[in-house]
Amino acid sequence: MNNFQLYDKNKKGTIIISHYRSGGTQLLNTLTSVLYGNDIKISNFKEINFDVLSGKPFVKQTEEMMKHTNYATILLNNSLVISHFYNQGYFDELNKNYNLVILERKDKLTSLLSLPLWEELIHRGLFHKDWKTPLEQTQDMIEFHTHLLNHPIPSQNIHLGWENDIFKKSGVEGAPNQYYYLNYLVKAYQDEINMLKILKNEYNLHTIYYEDYEENSKTLSIYFKNDEINQESLENILVQNKKKIPYIHRNFIDYFDKYTQQVLKDWKFDD
């Protein structure tokens, strides 16, 4: 599958199958920017989600939201939607009509912890900050690093990006529901990873790893070798779509409380 391309004119669209905090939005934005830049008419669905509270059957919702005429670009990263599609056998149809690709992070621990860390960054007003100089950026990120080492992120702040608060959270260390919450959350996270493996193996899907283009977005050019893509302008589009938070410390587990570190070690997510 070395010849896999993110755009396939013989399909109805491209669907990136992933889970939250795996670089899906960045890859989707890159894909749509490349297609827009080459005057290819598309319908960007962004993330597909079900309206659970509406009570409307998921099958009916699927029929309505998958209607389009232009080439579709879709990010499928909600585990509820993915599981429902699989149980309905809907991936048989999707694999026939759409260009499917799996997106993962090799570093599962970083993927899990990056969401609450990112939320802390937002809370301290740094995510959207327009730094005037590189020195200002470095100073802010050092202060952010020091703050988290002195005030670790508690286990109840970890979540998967969807409505997964099955158990009542508690800030009391050692409380029974604290043990339930984090362990069952990690179990749900592992289920999401396993589902991607099932889809990959069952439908022989190509996998792109975020780490392969994390530092150099130009490496994505191998997935845009179509005749319809202008290779001269491609590199500039790829560079413009590179988004990376300037963390100064990559071992995110150090920013979390001792209980979180203990549980994740028990699950071997620190390997």
Residues 117 and 163 placed together within one structural domain of the fold: yes
Residue 201 one-letter amino acid: N
Residues 60 and 91 placed together within one structural domain of the fold: yes
Residues 85 and 59 placed together within one structural domain of the fold: yes
DSSP 120-186: HHHHTT-TT---SSHHHHHHHHHHHHHHHHHSPBPGGG---SSS---S----STT-HHHHHHHHHHH
Total domains in the fold of the chain:
2
Residues 152 and 89 placed together within one structural domain of the fold: no
The token pair that represents 145 in the structure block: 């690093």
In whole angstroms, what is the distance from residue 103 CA to residue 172 CA? 36
Residues 156 and 259 placed together within one structural domain of the fold: yes
Residues 199 and 145 placed together within one structural domain of the fold: no
Residues 63 and 20 placed together within one structural domain of the fold: yes
Q: Note the pTM of the prediction, 2 decimals.
A: 0.88
Residues 94 and 39 placed together within one structural domain of the fold: yes
What's 221's domain CATH number?
3.40.50
In whole angstroms, what is the distance from residue 251 CA to residue 271 CA? 12
Q: Examine residue 1 and state whether it is found in any structural domain, yes or no.
A: no
Residue 233 structural domain = 13-106+194-240
Residue 227 one-letter amino acid: D
Residues 151 and 235 placed together within one structural domain of the fold: no
Residue 207 one-letter amino acid: T
In whole angstroms, what is the distance from residue 179 CA to residue 262 CA? 11
Residues 68 and 91 placed together within one structural domain of the fold: yes
Per-residue pLDDT of the chain (271 residues; tens, 9 = 90+): 468 999 999 999 999 999 988 889 999 999 999 999 999 999 999 998 888 888 888 999 998 889 899 999 999 999 999 999 999 999 999 999 999 999 999 999 999 999 999 999 999 999 989 899 999 999 999 999 999 999 999 988 888 876 555 555 555 665 556 677 888 888 989 999 999 999 999 999 999 999 999 888 999 999 999 989 998 899 999 998 888 889 999 999 999 999 889 888 888 764 3
Q: Examine residue 211 and state whether it is found in any structural domain, yes or no.
A: yes
Residues 86 and 220 placed together within one structural domain of the fold: yes
Q: Examine residue 36 and state whether it is found in any structural domain, yes or no.
A: yes
CB 103 within 8 A of CB 208: yes
Residues 158 and 251 placed together within one structural domain of the fold: yes
Q: Examine residue 3 and state whether it is found in any structural domain, yes or no.
A: no
